[in-house]
Structure 1
Amino acid sequence: MRRSDGIALAFLAALAVASPLRAERPILAPVPAIDAAPGSKLETAIFAGGCYWGVEGVFSHVKGVHLAVSGFAGGPRDRKVDYERVSQGDTGFAESVRVTYDPRQVSYGTLLRIFFSVIADPTTLNYQGPDHGTQYRSALFPLNGEQDRAARAYLVQLGRSGLWEGPIVTRLERFTGFQDADDYHQNFLSKNPRHPYILRWDMPKLAALKTMFPALYRDRPSA
């Protein structure tokens, strides 16, 4: 980790302690009316929903998820970035998580439902919790026609559900590639459960997963 990364992370820790904001209120999203047809092999999905620590941390505790990797998506295909560069907010990239899952155990639609129930507020434009900027936008990156169909239908379904006060602003974006974040940022929640930011913003999400989706929760995170 570079010194500049350490400074940024120290700032996040201070913000977690000082911020008067509360963690997002979990809202049980509806069961998807349209889901992606399951395949017989492991599949991949990309989600952006604020700081990737919490997104990766929650998905790694979902049964059927084999791997969750923190990284960056949404920017130009041929541009190389890292945490420090994306944090400046002008690259087009968003902190994202690549989820590898077994569709025979958990469907893409169920992952969407978990995402909007306990991870990301779909009504906050370019921010989640204390983290502001386009790099913290909520976005979905369908990797095939089935995911695209299911994601588009689900965003419409969320908007019609009346569960959220504001309009749904989560973006559906073209996938241009995924870049892994540095090792320091991988499995951050499981490696740093007492970190001030994790305690304030991400542990409530993990607790909500266990409470709202008990049949899909597992204590041991994916590798």
Structure 2
Amino acid sequence: MKMTQVSAQAKAPVPAVDEAKASVSGHETAVFAGGCFWGTQSVFQRVKGVTSTMAGYAGGSAATATYAQVTTETTGHAESVKVVYDPSKLTYGQLLRIFFTVHDPTQLNRQGPDVGTSYRSAIFYTNDEQKKIATAYIAQMEAAHVFSKPIVTQVVPLKGFYDAESYHQDYATNNPNNPYIMVCDRPKIETLKRDFPELFQPYKGE
């Protein structure tokens, strides 16, 4: 597979519609699909206020939620990442801003060298508030022509999230010298560090 780095993206703007930070600590869940889940997980693991992440599959059924089946591109699943965060420290809009900065939301059913519906750009909302914020944010960016092409990111309800196999978890961190990680995923982390220094935190003693 030819590994071509995803082109540098514009820094996404501050969402005009967002939730207020909670007054007390808690846990909220967001689910994003932005290409290979290795890179997406490696980004959100390094965001202050995120308490845990899990690479997995969303968009299909439990019966087909295995890597071998998902890569046939017939299951309806997208490689996704479940992000659990503290809403007193981080807002859903901030997560969306990072999501749209570190991947290309104009690529249909692919991301960089990875092609297929399992690599599509999607937001799986868990409640109506997330749906409202995500839909408004995409409309805001389209109106401002933040990207040179139309945004193709799906905004769909989360009907189920299925954890990926254990060897996929922390893959980018555990395999830093893998050529794919170096070319495709490491730049995402550098983008996070550059564009959101106030939200960046090292992961696992980096």
TM-score (norm: length of structure 1): 0.87
Whether the 8 Å contact between 2:21 and 2:89 is mirrored in structure 1 is no
Superposed CA RMSD in Å reads: 1.4
Amino acid aligned to 1:27 = A
Does the alignment pair 1:112 with 2:96?
A: yes
Is 2:151 the partner of 1:168? Answer: yes
Instruction: Give distance in 2, aligned partners of 1:193 and 1:105.
Output: 29
Q: In structure 2, how many angstroms separate the alpha carbons of the residues matched to 1:57 and 1:127?
A: 19
What is aligned with 1:183? 166
Aligned mates of 1:174, 1:75 — CA distance in 2: 12
Q: Provide the rounded CA distance (Å) in 2 between the counterparts of 1:193 and 1:27.
A: 25
Please list every run of at least 4 consecutive aligned residues from structure 1 whose deviation after the TM superposition is greater than 2 angstroms: 21-24, 36-40
Give the Cα–Cα distance (whole angstroms) in 2 for the partners of residues 221 and 129 of structure 1.
27
CA contact (8 A) 1:37 1:146 kept: no
Distance 1:65 1:188 in 2: 18
Per the alignment, in what secondary structure is the counterpart of residue 96 of structure 1?
strand
**SS of equivalent to 1:141:** strand
Structure 1 residues 80 and 88: CA distance shift in structure 2, 3 A: closer
Q: Which has the higher helix share?
A: 1
Q: Report the TM-score when normalising by structure 2.
A: 0.94
Alpha-carbon separation, structure 2, partners of 1:214 and 1:174: 31
Which among 87, 104, 108 is matched to residue 121 of structure 1?
104
Q: 1:123 to 1:221 in 2, by over 3 A?
A: farther
Cα deviation for residue 161 of structure 1 reads 1.8
Q: Percent identity?
A: 47
Tell me the number of residue pairs that the alignment of Structure 1 and Structure 2 aligns.
203
Unmatched 5+ residue regions in structure 2?
A: none
2:125 counterpart SS class: coil
Give 1:219's aligned residue: 202
Aligned in 2, Cα 1:144/1:37: closer, same or farther, shift over 3 Å?
Answer: farther
Q: Is the 8 A contact 1:60 1:221 kept in 2?
A: no
Whole-Å separation in 1 of the counterparts to 2:144 and 2:97: 13
- Output the amino acid matched with 1:81: A
